[in-house]
Amino acid sequence: MQKLIKGIHQFQRESFVPLQGLFEQLAKGQSPDTLFITCSDSRIDPTLLTRTPPGDLFILRNAGNIVPPHGAGGGEAATIEFAVAGLGVKDIIICGHSHCGAMKGILDPDQLVEMPAVAAWLSNADSTRRIMKENYSDLEGDRLLSATVEENVLVQLENLRTLPSVAARLAKGDLHLHGWVYKIETGQVFAYDVESSQFLKLTDCDPPVEPAVQHRKTNLI
Amino acid sequence: MQKLIKGIHQFQRESFVPLQGLFEQLAKGQSPDTLFITCSDSRIDPTLLTRTPPGDLFILRNAGNIVPPHGAGGGEAATIEFAVAGLGVKDIIICGHSHCGAMKGILDPDQLVEMPAVAAWLSNADSTRRIMKENYSDLEGDRLLSATVEENVLVQLENLRTLPSVAARLAKGDLHLHGWVYKIETGQVFAYDVESSQFLKLTDCDPPVEPAVQHRKTNLI
Amino acid sequence: MQKLIKGIHQFQRESFVPLQGLFEQLAKGQSPDTLFITCSDSRIDPTLLTRTPPGDLFILRNAGNIVPPHGAGGGEAATIEFAVAGLGVKDIIICGHSHCGAMKGILDPDQLVEMPAVAAWLSNADSTRRIMKENYSDLEGDRLLSATVEENVLVQLENLRTLPSVAARLAKGDLHLHGWVYKIETGQVFAYDVESSQFLKLTDCDPPVEPAVQHRKTNLI
Amino acid sequence: MQKLIKGIHQFQRESFVPLQGLFEQLAKGQSPDTLFITCSDSRIDPTLLTRTPPGDLFILRNAGNIVPPHGAGGGEAATIEFAVAGLGVKDIIICGHSHCGAMKGILDPDQLVEMPAVAAWLSNADSTRRIMKENYSDLEGDRLLSATVEENVLVQLENLRTLPSVAARLAKGDLHLHGWVYKIETGQVFAYDVESSQFLKLTDCDPPVEPAVQHRKTNLI
Amino acid sequence: MQKLIKGIHQFQRESFVPLQGLFEQLAKGQSPDTLFITCSDSRIDPTLLTRTPPGDLFILRNAGNIVPPHGAGGGEAATIEFAVAGLGVKDIIICGHSHCGAMKGILDPDQLVEMPAVAAWLSNADSTRRIMKENYSDLEGDRLLSATVEENVLVQLENLRTLPSVAARLAKGDLHLHGWVYKIETGQVFAYDVESSQFLKLTDCDPPVEPAVQHRKTNLI
Amino acid sequence: MQKLIKGIHQFQRESFVPLQGLFEQLAKGQSPDTLFITCSDSRIDPTLLTRTPPGDLFILRNAGNIVPPHGAGGGEAATIEFAVAGLGVKDIIICGHSHCGAMKGILDPDQLVEMPAVAAWLSNADSTRRIMKENYSDLEGDRLLSATVEENVLVQLENLRTLPSVAARLAKGDLHLHGWVYKIETGQVFAYDVESSQFLKLTDCDPPVEPAVQHRKTNLI
Ligand SMILES: [Zn+2]
Ligand SMILES: [Zn+2]
Ligand SMILES: [Zn+2]
Ligand SMILES: [Zn+2]
Ligand SMILES: [Zn+2]
Ligand SMILES: [Zn+2]
């Protein structure tokens, strides 16, 4: 705690002054363009990663960057609704990461015996677990974990689409969803690419151009 | 009731005999290819509509052909899991219909004051309601109701995709989802067509050929 | 799917025309007298069994013909409320059946390891399971399964009575409840008979004559 | 508080000694024959009313002597299961009372605006409310309140029957259910009498003789 | 039952008359000062223990004298809200007791295999279980059970503080919370003493004098 | 999005290199000392505020920095359990902030008509709302909002204490809870001070010295 308190004093002496104008402006109201959903993991810093100043990212963080589907209630549905319907964000990013402890818990439930609330929470990633089990029996170790992180981002995007405020904006075509994975040890970001059905390094992805309503076309055969 | 009891006797005298061999065979086990999800409405008869004999359709029916997303529990998740993971069905059809009372309830909640369980149930169609409100303000009357029936089929398909047994089979590519609307007064069936982003008369749709895994590609920008 | 699509075309060519007048009439509104609750099993066809035309039966189907008690919410409570309070049905039939997969799941939970949603759903038949365990330890095999099917129909009828719309109509005396079991291999229907405390072949039952309010008398010692 | 503390000292000086042997015996274990469910109302004292010593009555008390049906979970289901399956009680009494504040809340929800937890709790008496509304529109004032108290006892008995431990013992025939109403101002107790379908003064009721399994016969037409 | 009915007649003949004036007065309305929360155990009689007449104690009883935190709903939240916001009680006592069966269930979950509703209910004492496990590994037998009873009273007091009606009155400073343990075999009552951080015999405790708002000060470092 | 992607490239070119050693170390595992719970608001940046590098703060963010009590489940309970029981953090900070949109929603529910998930979520701040209503009727405007932010931090700390992993560590005395409020426009941080019962500027607070077990003493009169 003493370290944190010193940090705050340092912030107040050094960092606040150059940002003072911005903060005074922001005190009148925020209007972020992006909702950034990521894990609570201490090794991820969304504003450092994107080099964004205060005011740009509305940030939702929990263990495993999980979004329960509509009906579960809870902080995720509320925070997303506030961002989408209240603040009118234009993009939602779900950003998983390498070495995620929650994903390890999905693969090895025995780790969770003393953490029943975590185990219950991961029921929102039951699809991730079942996808891995039925489709990736050939993988193990780091490669299995990496694939789990990726599949979980896709699963949580499916869950996200069931939230009414999101569904209504997707039908309108003015909200875009993005699936990312951040690799802690290299600083790389991988984004899901629809054409290749893979996560590609962010630079290799085409920038998003089509309206979201396009996706509705392609839900079904 | 007397009418029903007479009907059963008539079934036993007239209809059972020609089907006796089939029924005796089926008594050893069922293996339907299709899960048919439709409304409880008395005007829809899935086996009449598809001219299928006993054993072909596993049938889930409730008010509004609704599928709560994963996490809500309930009979729908269980019945679908039983069909997908237990029986290995290859296709799931969600079939809405014209003049649906549940959809009227979505558009006019005042009708539901004395039906609180129906009102609560329709929270699983909150996305339908919000999509209609934010995107179809120009429609009213029959056209609004028809559009609601169609959008609700798409919303329930999104919910369906969050069920783990469904998600795992979709990732594998051996399960296909279909969105239909049945028009009571004409006997027509309309199926959602991905290319045109519309519900088309069933004859005008291309038959489904691609594996379901394709759809995953197109979830995102 | 091709088989179903052919069936629909056959329906449209052959079956629709003789029913066209009925369907056009029904398009103006339904008024079924009976709510028929049965299993999703592909081997049961309520309209075939009762030889009823479209419009006669409001049909609720799920795995195990289960009715969660009041408070659980879900599609069953909503569909029943819609039938009872919205459509004014006069009779409710809960119809179990021989060889029911859900009932097998009650007796052998090990079958459900890969079907957690089914296992959770069957908690609404916990009374069935406990009744079997504490009262039928002498039965096994087919006879145990048959007794389970019967007891479950009675348990679900108890659950049904806790739904407010049902309770209010039962107190009024103008709603009747019926417990049936359908035997796939013989086409027979057995109905619960109060006097003998048994399920009897439908022909052997006295037709229902007393008002439902009578039953309230006999709830208690 | 000072009054209570004085009372406890008085208990220890005066009341404990004559009961010391009983209390020392009871410290080894309880085996009450009866589960007594009543309201938290300060004007009811079950042990005073029945003149029973410590050890005879297992007592469940909440606002409105309410028993949520199976599936709701909560303290009532647990306490009843403990009494029925753990302690093997032979009788369960649900005892409502005159002037019950919870029942007033059912009839006049406006009283509950500042008591949302009470309002939510009374959803377990939705059947009571709906029965009153649809069947007792001719009553008002004290007579309406008295009828509500009585009907609520019957509704809660229906809920009670959905609890698995209760259902299994009822099927066995060795558990008996009783519906009572206590009138504060006169000390009278009224018990539901099956034959006359009325609450009668306890002395006027025939003592219970039939096994509970009898009731199952009469559930249905 | 015959014993209870005889007891009621004895109450009516002997006990009611001296209390008739009080009961007639109470029929006009109750205004208890204290909410007494205790276990359903047949060996505890709150009015005997405190020598209080009808009208003094509003009494909530369930297995384990448990209070689920805000959000769980159920009879406890409702009953407490009714007492605090409706009746304006000034003190709430949570009273555990020696030899409590529910506490034994916390320590030995194997006892609860046939009592799933009890097991689920005790999740509201998960903190008790975890506190015991992580802090009392040196205790066993009676001493472990006694410590569990005490810690559980403290845990339930924490839960109690999350109820909005309680929190608002605590902030105001006119509601007092008390943690007690009753020892069946000796008739002793122990009350939690803040200064010594122990449960002390009631006589040895200083009477409560400070306003509840004081406690808010000391929630945090 | 283009701005974010540019930011990421800038991060990779400029910020990653000096942190590369740290990130490679962290890829082997995290061990943060502190769980920092704050609002999703885009104007708060916990790592900027405390000048901490990646790896120091485990961060939970949702609308309103809310912690549902034990039993509600959800991402908050899981994330906190993971931090406390899995990672062994030593301090938990709940940090509210000036101009919080969620707190405005508590004070003016009409703003939430189109945001039902937010409205439902704020039920976890029902105590905040009730405390404000019953104790701060003299405040309005900015002062009312500021007081609401502060009281909500205290309410969420109470909720936090009901989580079993937290309760067990508090009983052990090696976990410390802190209530903070961050003022966007000035960069100031206020911390709840037990002695004065007020939020004081962080510099004016005594550093925390006592073990958490002390707080248990002072829960009660
Ligand atoms: Zn992670
Ligand atoms: Zn319909
Ligand atoms: Zn079946
Ligand atoms: Zn009462
Ligand atoms: Zn006890
Ligand atoms: Zn905020």
Q: Render pLDDT for F90-108 as a digit per residue (tens, 0 to 9).
A: 999 999 999 999 999 999 9
Cβ distance of A121 and F77 shorter than 8 Å: yes
Cβ distance of F68 and E71 shorter than 8 Å: yes
Average pLDDT over residues A100-126: 97
Cβ distance of E129 and F164 shorter than 8 Å: yes
- Give the pLDDT confidence of A36-52 residue by residue, as tens digits: 999 999 999 999 999 99
Counting as contact any 3 or more CB pairs under 8 A, the partners of F are A, E
F126 at interface of E, judged by CB pairs closer than 8 A: yes
Q: Other CB atoms closer than 10 Å to residue E19's CB: what's the count?
A: 17
User: Is-contact C166 C70, C-beta < 8 A?
Assistant: no
B52 vs C contacts (CB less than 8 Å)? 3-4, 7
Write down the pLDDT at residue D205: 57
Give me the residue from D163, D212, D220 closest to C177, CB to CB. D220
User: Is-contact D197 C212, C-beta < 8 A?
Assistant: no
F124 vs E contacts (CB less than 8 Å)? 70-71
Identity of residue D68: P
Residue segments in chain C with a per-residue pLDDT below the cut of 50: 209-221
Taking CB atoms and an 8 Å cut-off, how many pairs form between chains C and D?
A: 158
Cβ distance of E215 and F219 shorter than 8 Å: yes
Q: Other CB atoms closer than 10 Å to residue F82's CB: what's the count?
A: 28
Counting as contact any 3 or more CB pairs under 8 A, the partners of C are B, D
Write down the pLDDT at residue F220: 38
Write down the pLDDT at residue E79: 98
Give which of C149, C147, C157, C151 is closest to C178, Cα–Cα. Answer: C157
Which DSSP helix (H) or strand (E) runs through D126?
Answer: helix D126-135
- Is a pLDDT exceeding 90 seen at residue B106? yes
Query: Ligand 4 centroid to D97 CA: how many Å?
Result: 6
Give me the residue from B7, B75, B81 closest to C51, CB to CB. B7
| Cα distance between residue F23 and residue E192, in whole Å | 50
Query: Ligand 6 centroid to F199 CA: how many Å?
Result: 18
Give me the interface pTM, i.e. the ipTM. Answer: 0.95
Phi, psi dihedral angles at B181 (to 5 degrees): -135, 130
Q: 3-class DSSP state for residue F206?
A: coil
Write down the pLDDT at residue C15: 96
Which DSSP helix (H) or strand (E) runs through B129?
Answer: helix B126-135
Q: Other CB atoms closer than 10 Å to residue A133's CB: what's the count?
A: 13
User: Is-contact F153 F179, C-beta < 8 A?
Assistant: yes
Average pLDDT over residues F44-56: 98
Cβ distance of E168 and F219 shorter than 8 Å: no
- Is a pLDDT exceeding 70 seen at residue A87? yes
Query: Ligand 1 centroid to F82 CA: how many Å?
Result: 11
Identity of residue A196: S
Give which of F130, B112, E35, E177 is closest to D116, Cα–Cα. Answer: F130
Mean pLDDT (chain F, rounded)? 92
pLDDT bracket for residue E180 (50, 70, 90): very high
Residue segments in chain D with a per-residue pLDDT below the cut of 50: 209-221
The domain A29-202 having CATH identifier 1.20.120.420: the answer here is: no
In sequence order, the 6+-apart residues with CB closer than 8 A to the CB of C107 are C129, C132, C144, C145, C148
The answer to pTM > 0.80 is yes
- Give the pLDDT confidence of C155-184 residue by residue, as tens digits: 999 999 999 999 999 999 999 999 999 999
Question: Within 13 Å and on the Cβ side, how many CA atoms surround E69?
Answer: 31
Write down the pLDDT at residue E195: 85
Query: Do the annotations mark residue A205 as ligand-binding?
Result: no
pLDDT bracket for residue E114 (50, 70, 90): very high
- Is a pLDDT exceeding 80 seen at residue F10? yes
Exposure string for D150-178, b = 16+ CB within 10 A, e = fewer: bbbbbbbbbbbbbbbbbbbbbbeeebbbb
**CB neighbour class for E205 (10 Å; exposed up to 12, middle 13-18, buried from 19):** buried
Cβ distance of A218 and B158 shorter than 8 Å: no
Query: Do the annotations mark residue C41 as ligand-binding?
Result: yes
Three-state secondary structure readout of E147-187: HHHHHHHHHHHHHHHCCHHHHHHHHHCCCEEEEEEEECCCC
Cβ distance of C7 and B52 shorter than 8 Å: yes
Give me the residue from F40, F42, F121 closest to A54, CB to CB. F42
F40 vs A contacts (CB less than 8 Å)? 58-60, 79, 82-83
Angle at C125 between CA B115 and CA C189, to 5 degrees: 85
Residues of chain D numbered 33-92 and touching chain C (CB < 8 Å): 68-72
Residue to test with chain C: of B42, B178, B202, most C Cβ within 10 A: B42
Query: Do the annotations mark residue E100 as ligand-binding?
Result: yes
User: Is-contact D30 E43, C-beta < 8 A?
Assistant: yes
| Cα distance between residue A53 and residue D10, in whole Å | 70
Q: Other CB atoms closer than 10 Å to residue A13's CB: what's the count?
A: 10
Query: Ligand 3 centroid to C105 CA: how many Å?
Result: 10
- Is a pLDDT exceeding 60 seen at residue A159? yes
Give me the residue from F129, F177, F219 closest to E157, CB to CB. F219
Domain range list for chain B = 29-202
User: Is-contact D102 E60, C-beta < 8 A?
Assistant: no
- Is a pLDDT exceeding 80 seen at residue E206? no
Counting as contact any 3 or more CB pairs under 8 A, the partners of E are D, F
Distance from CA of B193 to the nearest CA of C (A): 15
- Is a pLDDT exceeding 70 seen at residue A213? no
| Residue C70: both structure tokens together | 């009041």
| Cα distance between residue D6 and residue D150, in whole Å | 38
Distance from CA of E218 to the nearest CA of F (A): 5
User: If you measure CA to CA, which chain F residue comes closest to A77?
Assistant: F117
DSSP character for A52? P
- Give the pLDDT confidence of E46-89 residue by residue, as tens digits: 999 999 999 999 999 999 999 999 999 999 999 999 999 999 99
Cβ distance of B49 and C8 shorter than 8 Å: yes
Cβ distance of B130 and A165 shorter than 8 Å: yes
Write down the pLDDT at residue B214: 35
Cβ distance of F115 and A185 shorter than 8 Å: no
R_g (Cα) of chain B, nearest Å: 19
